[in-house]
Structure 1
């Protein structure tokens, strides 16, 4: 993913140079140039990501990248996500927070969200860490949060798929019980799919037992960003 982000940023830099150097657009204002660069850049990035994501569309990263708006409106959304990402990092330093496109990929490993063995029950420590995220989520109500559950490769794949689905649902239920709108959440269990470490070691299996969030703008945020972009 690092290579994709570098390539995307390079593409936008080149596009920016192209647009600012063209006589036909020198008399446009910054908003108009930003929208043009964003629109074309979004198409370039979309092509790059489409070629690289493949089956990964059904992941937190795929969900974040699939919601790209682009243009000036995308920049407005991105600024809000920048701030939210920083607040998540401050609230829960043990989390992996990655700003991608116009959203946030949040990875909560066993050090942040742990379950009882072979169960979907959240431990007391997991609940305490989720409690730290709730004020941030409350501060940004105009976001959708997709929750993905994962397991290591130990045990039957079908069992792990069901367990991961139940664990993602447990996270959603806990956050909703704490006052967050249930309609903001969707859950998906992916079982042993998409490992982030080897399953050949205990440390690697521990990393693969995780929950990932894809935080993206909802329709209200998109519409407000588009209005701001049109000023």
Structure 2
């Protein structure tokens, strides 16, 4: 995790230092930082950071930014939704960054070892997340499955895809439009911790759910709504 943060910071600083210096970085909130980054070209910055960091979720969060005043308005809405998810969804790690939300579940919470069937208790957690997604319809959702490096790369890729799809199935079963959701499996290719340790492998086995503004929310924000 520390290595990932360093790599994100290195690229991010290189591409957005000028913007942040002009806004008084010491007083910036996460929403304001997102606005500053977005103003510098969120799509390009997100793609570069995501690639450099080896993390699809990071790229999606930053790449979806529009920046400026519109970005700040979007960030305010995301603050409210993130707080709602934290309060109502057990087992989820919720991170607000820029103009989006990252919801992470350790695979051990959702699945038995080497399985892609969501555990009954975890289904309830995902159903509660689906309620929040229903309450906030102007968002798009990316679901990314990850594994550790135990087993073959091909098996891990397949398992990560099936797990992400299983999460999507639970969410869409609760009246969240399929069109809002995208699924990706990354297998063992995007570790956030050391795969040579038990704890590191546990952290790498995860499902990440990225929530970003859709075009309608962006258009409203750009009109000051």
TM-score bracket relative to the smaller structure: 0.7 to 0.9
Q: 1:13 to 1:202 in 2, by over 3 A?
A: closer
- Asked if 1 retains the 8 angstrom alpha-carbon contact of 2:159 and 2:187, the reply is yes
SS class of match (2:203) = helix
Q: Which of 6, 9, 13 is the equivalent residue of 1:4? A: 9
Deviation, structure 1 residue 13: 5.1
- Residues 124-154 of structure 1, C-alpha deviation per residue, up to 9 Å, x if partnerless? 1211211221221111011000000011111
Aligned counterparts of 1:185 and 1:103: Cα–Cα separation in 2: 15
Q: CA RMSD in A?
A: 2.8
Aligned counterparts of 2:122 and 2:17: Cα–Cα separation in 1: 39
- For the pair 1:60 / 2:57, whether they are aligned, the reply is yes
Deviation, structure 1 residue 110: 3.2
Please list every run of 5 or more consecutive structure 1 residues that lacks an aligned counterpart in the other structure.
18-37
Tell me how many residue pairs correspond in the alignment. 208
- For the pair 1:225 / 2:221, whether they are aligned, the reply is yes
Q: Which of 173, 177, 182 is the equivalent residue of 2:173? A: 177
Larger-gyration structure (1/2): 1
Corresponding residue for residue 101 of structure 1: 98
Please list every run of 5 or more consecutive structure 2 residues that lacks an aligned counterpart in the other structure.
25-34
Q: 1:41 to 1:55 in 2, by over 3 A?
A: closer
SS class of match (2:209) = strand
Aligned counterparts of 1:191 and 1:62: Cα–Cα separation in 2: 17
Aligned counterparts of 1:188 and 1:137: Cα–Cα separation in 2: 19
Matches within 5 A, 1:82-93: 82-93=79-90
Aligned counterparts of 2:42 and 2:107: Cα–Cα separation in 1: 33
TM-score normalised per structure 1: 0.79
Corresponding residue for residue 138 of structure 1: 134
